[in-house]
Structure 1
């Protein structure tokens, strides 16, 4: 069963009600799924699909609004890639539930009319891209991003280029699993540079060791930052002298679980909640939403909280952190590189090449984060406020160039 609610767009701004929100009820299990289109550009919106026990419509609505910001943030009128609108999907089901695959299949089938024409989607929390691709193929859909194909000058060539990029392996990890975390790491490194903190005197704690957290830890460690703690679903691994990130990365399970058999002398285990108490300069929440609340923020010792996960810091907690001089690099900035990389590659701004991807991600994220930190300092506002002001300017420019098309067009 599907319940739809459509809303008319506001004239301007990024805080309008969503264009469309959908509630799906699985006829077999009773579990619910949600799809929200926050905004359309040229009739299309972009955003991943997550699976987690307890996922809500409010959560998906907030994530879709965040996708609007991520898309707009990378708007460059000189690029081939023209940002899309923002969207998101979520299914209230644990990915470990034995029924998860069947529920996912029925959800995708239930919302196929959106995927066919208006919503490009991909992996998110609790869902791997290869699983989604298999489900899409089983249902006879062309691709989870097929809605974008009419916007391409050479759809066949673009698809071949993206497929080639997805096949690239970088030191044992696929390129698509690395680009997002590379963007997060570059955001953190830019923040350290802005504060005048040498990388080799900086310590990092990363909560979550999946695609985003694992790649973030890799690139921080390779830059010389000491990664002193990693958290997964089973607890926290700690070593004040630094963890062997590469060893743990290449032996983790598909959902980011750390193999405790790979721990070295000096590596210790701590409870899952301990990640907030470990002294560091860079704290990276890279797993779940809403994991830093008003009480938790007092435990944070970091100079920078770099949001690799979506919506990990509650607004009141962020206010408390800011009052203590802790800068939060918001999710729609720090973790925007995965989405941008897909479209840079598909539209042809870069080729199917790891070096090109790394250079583009690093250059774009360094420029964006430097501008945000500079604006925040000059105007005495938070990094989030400075970033949102940039988003609003770019949304206005996108609207002026393209306008908006209704979801029924």
Structure 2
């Protein structure tokens, strides 16, 4: 693969901790990708995530849509987000990256950070918005910004729409795969690693669709119940980091080690937390039929090869978890309004179409879903480049 357009490492003058920015590709002079904060974050990790963002943008290209996909980018900070020094570090990082955020990089929440926190730190860093680089591309900036702000105020059953739409896209990806395989929802078991924004919403919508969530994992371990967990009770008992208060567990809920979700017997596994959660050392414990990547890069390439040899299908992150990013732009550019029903309907249509396209391509080519997704991107990137150029 070609080298990214821009790759830089920043060192905080206060803590000595590193931060990274990788711009993989520009379209109309702008790239999109969130900012993550986690202990141990690396430049290689951010580089892979930036390439993934280029793919997610290309996969949602619709020549008839108002939203024109951007390039791909990603930011990362090597720090535990729970650390007392984390917020000050975030502000200083955003100040250092201000020239890029003002000109070419639109960013937002990712692992370890919420959008509210990013917005607050961005304001303190002197930025108009974390997505201000896209404003010159809008036909009516004032209306577009109001529409997005209104969308972030939409509440659905006690949870903000912005915290639900990505997980809804993951859930629809699961349901589309089940439908294609002729597998009924009732009786299909699900294990979810991570009950934060993405994992929590995925669990909610899969449970509401009739699947049985039998295991969820957070930093405190795995919570399991073969008959099904009370997903809504667990969601209501989460803290800001997705950790469940064990006081809400029922008598027949079991507390197991943190990695027990891998071997819980569920047909569908949804890693929705950290990267590299499934590797060659633990992939043998997976007994399900599908792994659906709600997190970014949760399955290593070597592990995926071994899983495929055992007949386990990995639905890749570049498709499955692309709904959040797309929702931002569908709303800002005006393909949809600040309305939950409209957002869910558009997300459902888009994600199901992408899953069908990817799985059909994989079947026709005799490849994995990830290879098929890469092939679709390879077809679309030159089309986008011909229409908009490589950099402008």
What TM-score do you get using the length of structure 2 for normalisation? 0.99
Q: 1:197-255: CA deviations, max 9, x gaps? A: 10002000000000000000001000000000000111010000001111111221111
Name the residue aligned to 2:379: 393
Instruction: Name the residue aligned to 1:230.
Output: 216
Corresponding residue number in structure 2 for 1:3: none
1:358-386 residue CA offsets vs partner (Å, 9 max, x unmatched)? 00111100010011111211221100011
Q: 1 CA distance for matches of 2:264 and 2:363?
A: 27
Contact 2:33 2:50 in 1 (8 A): yes
Report if aligned partners of 2:92, 2:125 keep a CA contact under 8 Å in 1. Answer: no
The residue that corresponds to 2:311 in the other structure is: 325
Report the CA distance between 1:134 and its aligned residue.
0.5
Alignment partner, residue 276 of structure 1: 262
- Runs of 4+ in structure 1 deviating by more than 6 angstroms, as ranges, are none
Deviates more, 1:85-94 or 1:293-302: 293-302
Is 2:375 aligned against 1:368? no
1:190 and 2:181 matched: no
Mapped contact 1:208–1:231 kept (Cα < 8 A): yes
SS of equivalent to 1:291 = coil
Report if aligned partners of 2:263, 2:286 keep a CA contact under 8 Å in 1: yes
What corresponds to 1:5 in structure 2? Answer: none
Q: Residue 277 of structure 2 corresponds to which residue in structure 1?
A: 291
Q: Distance in 1 between matches of 2:6 and 2:157?
A: 41
Correspondence 1:1-400 to 2 at 5 A: 15-400=1-386
- 1:138 and 1:294 mapped to 2: Cα distance? 43
Matches of 2:33 and 2:263, distance apart in 1:
33
Could you tell me how far apart the structure 2 residues matched to 1:140 and 1:320 are? Answer: 48
Question: How far apart, in 2, do the equivalents of 1:405 and 1:191 lie?
Answer: 36
CA distance in 1, matches of 2:336, 2:280: 42
Q: Contact 2:37/2:112 (CA < 8 Å) preserved in 1?
A: yes
User: Could you say what secondary structure the match of 2:37 adopts?
Assistant: strand
CA contact (8 A) 2:290 2:315 kept: yes
CA RMSD of aligned residues (A): 0.8
| Secondary structure, aligned partner of 2:360 | helix
CA deviations 1:245-291 (Å, max 9, x no partner) are: 11111221111011111111211100101111110111000000011
What secondary structure sits across from 1:206 in the alignment? Answer: strand
TM-aligned CA deviation for residue 339 of structure 1: 0.2
Question: Which whole-Å CA distance do the structure 1 matches of 2:175 and 2:281 have between them?
Answer: 27
Task: Report the secondary structure of 2:375's partner residue.
Answer: helix
Aligned 8 A contact 1:173 1:250 in 2: no
Contact 1:24 1:32 in 2 (8 A): yes
Contact residue 191 and residue 270 of structure 2 kept, 8 A: yes
Shift of 1:300: 0.6
State the Cα deviation string for residues 110-168 of structure 1 (Å, max 9, x = none): 01000001000000000111011001111221000000000000011000000000000
Offset, 1:348: 0.2
Contact kept, 8 Å, 1:208 with 1:286, in 2: the verdict is yes
Contact preservation (8 Å) 1:191, 1:369: yes
Once residues 124 and 25 of structure 1 are traced to their aligned partners in structure 2, the CA distance between those partners, rounded to angstroms, is 20
Q: Gaps (5+ residues) in structure 2?
A: none
TM-score for both structures, normalised by structure 1: 0.95
Please tell me whether the aligned partners of residues 172 and 250 of structure 1 are also in contact (alpha carbons under 8 angstroms). Answer: no
1:200 aligns to what SS in structure 2?
coil
Q: Are the counterparts in 1 of residues 95 and 126 from structure 2 also a CA contact under 8 Å? A: no
Residues 317-354 of structure 1 deviation map (CA, whole Å, 9 limit, x = unaligned): 00011111111000000000000000000000000000
Residue 295 (structure 1) shift: 2.4
List gaps (5 residues or longer) in structure 1: 1-14
Q: Distance in 1 between matches of 2:69 and 2:194?
A: 28
Paired residues in the alignment total 392
